[in-house]
Structure 1
Amino acid sequence: MDTVAVMKSLVALFMMAIALGMDAFSVGMGMGMISLRLRQIFKIGLTIGVFHVIMPLAGMFIGVILSAHFGKVALFAGGVLLILLGAQMIFFSFQKEAGPIVQPIGLGLIIFAVSVSLDSFSVGLSLGIYGARVWATVVMFGAVSMVMTWLGLLLGRKFQKLFGSYSEVLGGCILFAFGIKLLLSM
């Protein structure tokens, strides 16, 4: 493969990585509106980056057999998870003494990471069919989504300071709306 073809393929993968990272950015912005420390933001971005490596890698290896069936299931599961996360953020923002059920730590972080990386699993299934460069693809997906998550979380954190107590409601609405968008795109 000549240099021009390699560059074109890397640019195409980068554009796809940005498209996949946009959901991590959007959801990160919503999640960033709850009080998070910089250490938590770092861990969240790193975890989402890792899941954006694991999920398309798994999708590429599963490939042709499941691509027709899993694409819609992944979108449905991701949409439902985001709706639930958004709804619980909205609900618990009105209760001062109780915190949200799902926080972006431990199992909550895994749920959060899975919900925003399910679309990369579907893309991985498709790329597996076309024989894309596996490692270049997954490293680019992981790196771009990690950076975009950090940007979203930091921007959400700024909005949280600006909007105060209303920021959790706004963040929950963003997650909820993004979940509905995923469900409607099926």
Structure 2
Amino acid sequence: MSVLEIALIGIGLAMDAFAVSICKGLAMKKMSYQKAVIIALFFGAFQALMPALGYVLGTTFASKIATIDHWIAFILLGLIGINMIKEAMSKDEDGCLDDALHFGNLIMLSVATSVDALAIGITFAFFNVSIVLSTVIIGIITFVICVIGVKVGNVFGEKYKSKAEFAGGVLLIIMGCKILVDHLFF
């Protein structure tokens, strides 16, 4: 597998994390590159870690992981999306602004958006792929895309705070449903 192919896989894997990064940017009153970097580090690290873990697991657990990965992503994204919608509908304007860096939330989102990367790692085990190079490429691409996502979300969110957060919550729920439908029917 070429570096270009791995980079394209990395871009594809980063799209869920990009969408969630946009939602995180919405939660910031003022853009903070320090917070953007922390958020991007979480997503980039998990996007790099999961293929490595999948590679190690290889084919031994492939069927077990494939049977539940979509449910994990669906539940996590759905719960977080519902929470965002609830906060957007709340009269408390600052309800979600303080948890852009909430550790538990970042872990849950990082896991939810990187479950597919675990499956990619399992497929890497079947090919002659340098797992170190692959994880570095995937992690860096995700990091850069997520910093951009936080900025995009913040700019959009400054103008339409509650509507944008509501839309972000709906987006997370749709992403979770899409993952579930793709795995159950296609």
For residue 170 of structure 1, report the CA deviation from its aligned partner.
1.4
Deviates more, 1:89-98 or 1:16-25: 89-98
1:73 aligned partner? 68
2:178 aligned partner? 181
2:113 partner amino acid: V
Which one of 107, 124, 135 corresponds to residue 110 of structure 1? 107
Is 1:43 the equivalent of 2:38? yes
TM (norm. structure 2) is 0.88
CA distance in 2, matches of 1:42, 1:174: 22
For residue 121 of structure 1, report the CA deviation from its aligned partner.
0.7
Which one of 154, 157, 163 corresponds to residue 154 of structure 2? 157
CA distance in 2, matches of 1:76, 1:132: 28
CA distance in 2, matches of 1:127, 1:87: 34
CA distance in 2, matches of 1:181, 1:23: 11
RMSD: 1.9
1:99 aligned partner? 95
Instruction: State the secondary structure of the residue aligned to 1:181.
Output: helix
> Closer, same or farther in 2 for the Cα pair 1:179/1:150, shift >3 Å?
same
TM (norm. structure 1) is 0.88
Runs of 5+ unmatched residues, structure 1: 1-7
Contact 2:41 2:143 in 1 (8 A): yes
Q: How do 1:27-38 residues align onto structure 2 when only pairs under 5 Å count?
A: 27-35=20-28, 37-38=32-33
Instruction: State the secondary structure of the residue aligned to 1:65.
Output: coil
Q: Work out the percentage of aligned pairs sharing the same amino acid.
A: 25
Superposed CA offset, 1:63-89 (max 9, x none): 011112212312220121111111100
1:39 partner amino acid: Q
CA distance in 1, matches of 2:22, 2:171: 8
Deviates more, 1:166-175 or 1:12-21: 166-175
Count of paired positions: 179
Runs of 5+ unmatched residues, structure 2: none
Q: How do 1:54-93 residues align onto structure 2 when only pairs under 5 Å count?
A: 54-93=49-88
2:177 partner amino acid: I
CA distance in 2, matches of 1:103, 1:38: 12
